[in-house]
Structure 1
Amino acid sequence: MAGEEVVIPGFRFYPTEEELITFYLKHKIQGTHELLQDINRVIPQLHVYDFYPWDLPQQAGERCQGDPEQWFFFIARQEKEARGGRPSRLTSSGYWKATGSPGIVYSLSNRAIGVKRTMVFYNGRAPTGTKTKWKMNEYKAFQEESSSNTNQKPKLMEELSLCRVYVKSNSLRAFDRRPSGVTINEQPSVPQPLSDQSHYSSDDQTVSHPHSTMESDDQPLWDWEELKEWF
């Protein structure tokens, strides 16, 4: 129909976790002027806890409009977080509950670039809420990338988080499906952050690598007791 954008099957916004952290999140926090307009067009800033998760697709950026699987948002740090408290993840009739421990996200060059944690949405109120298929990955960036062979603890860029909201699915097109035969020693392709891509990213791994096919044998650089203060 006239005036409607035709979306060609197979062309989608599929950034890797490395691109989400080092390009989108860092440039957004740093306020890189020449990139902000494009970044805001692709990933809007939104307090996602003001919405039911199933209403979030309508709030997504233009590259994710009509996507049936995943939607991306920047979330500003809450005032209580700035004062050292824990963020509130309550909606009007539900809540997001963290699952597992936060994990380190690594770049292709095996440098720690940020932290990811996964959450599940529950209807109702804890502890009797009903689990749904809606999930969220929350990413925070490190100020400086850290080599895997150092014990130096990096600092987080706290101003913003980047979240990927999605529906847990058993479909072969699910975001967390990995191509067979891909290893972490694979040579990186040249990233094209603002173009449609077909990259795959990890989902609920403890140690996350953009091209790993299973949980990495590497141990996190910092244990949960050190990381939990960030959440």
Structure 2
Amino acid sequence: MAASHPMISAAPILLEPGFKFKPTDEDVVVHYLRPRAMNEPLPSGYIVDVDILNHNPWELVPEGSVEKYYFSRMVTRWPLGNWRKRAAGDGHWKASGKDVPIFSKGINGRVPLMVGLKKTMVFYRGKAPFGENTEWVMEEYRLAEAGLKPSHVMRPREGGNFECACTARAIAKKNGELSEALRNTIASLKKVPVMVNPDDSWVVCHLYKKKKKCAMPRLIAQSYNVAGGGQVPFFDFIGQGNPERAASSSSLTGAPSEENDDTDGSTSGEGK
């Protein structure tokens, strides 16, 4: 059985500063996962192969990065079972919520087809079913339904008797002088279409860390409550409105200014 090697159709795309690799769910399944499962050329080299189960999530996301995509292979617990191994590194991955279907846009007005599923999981330290919850999350993309249908791909012709040895030597000799487009054309002449079934063990793993919620609004509300004696004070910034309400709030708005005047005077006196 031939080894599976990812093929890149072109050099990795170098994006300008400010641009990020932000594929949609459809992009991940249609343009990356399905070609990888069929050992076909990939649009770029952003996603590489990694055994997710051999690492902790923080080991796979470089320092300074917020997320990372990887190709990986699902491993079953038993040879004939459907249960997947989820133990990884110092803990395990636990599913969170239901699988989300991923659809491919219909062509020529056709109904969109489901091509994959996305499962969200959270990393726990320790062995299942126990463990300590962490902030690391993984979105696992896998092929489903239309994404698993076989299709024709170009594979090298077996035998190689369709051209003479002298022609092959001449092509090899001149290969360095040929343009890239012509080399690709010559390479395609040695291939034939073959029906291939996608390898459903391949998945794309999107790793990232959950953002902490900001508690600033609550702290601000608490400071107002303390300053106002348990109530939010009223400040008449416009200087208009109900005189009675403004007068009732003078104890809040006027007192600090008097204290500031006294403080300023005492401070200036000490400074002099």
TM-score, structure 2 as length reference: 0.48
1:138 aligns with 2:135: no
What residue is the counterpart of 2:207 in the other structure? Answer: 165
Q: Determine if contact 1:106/1:112 at 8 Å carries over to the other structure.
A: yes
Q: Which has the larger radius of gyration?
A: 2
Cα distance change of structure 1 residues 85 and 69 upon mapping to structure 2, 3 Å threshold: same
In structure 1, what is the equivalent of residue 58 of structure 2? 54
Paired position in structure 2 for 1:102: 99
Larger RCO (CA under 8 A, 6+ residues apart): 1
Q: Are 2:138 and 2:205, in contact at CA under 8 Å, matched by a contact in 1?
A: yes
Q: What is the one-letter code of the residue matched to 1:13?
A: F
Find the aligned partners of 1:81 and 1:44 in 2 and give their Cα distance: 27
- In the alignment, which residue of structure 1 is the partner of 2:90? 93
The residue aligned with 2:74 is 77
Aligned to 1:23: 31
The 2-side partners of 1:139 and 1:76 are apart by 11
Partner of 1:211: none
- Residues matched between the structures, number: 148
- Partner letter of residue 111 of structure 1? L
Aligned mates of 1:24, 1:8 — CA distance in 2: 22
Percent identity over the alignment is 29
CA RMSD, 1 decimal: 3.0
Name structure 1 gaps, 5 residues minimum: 1-5, 59-65, 147-154, 172-231
The structure that is helix-richer by fraction is 2
- TM-score (ref. length: structure 1): 0.55
Question: Counterpart amino acid of 1:22?
Answer: V
CA 1:103 to 1:54, structure 2 compared with 1: closer, same or farther past 3 Å?
Answer: same
After superposing the two structures, state which structure 1 stretch, 66-75 or 46-55, moved more: 66-75
How far does residue 70 in structure 1 lie from its aligned partner after superposition?
1.2
Structure 2: segments with no counterpart, 5+ residues: 1-13, 107-111, 149-196, 214-272
The AA in structure 2 aligned to 1:75 is S
Q: Which structure 2 residues correspond to residues 119-158 of structure 1 after superposition, within 5 A?
A: 119-142=121-144, 144=146, 158=200
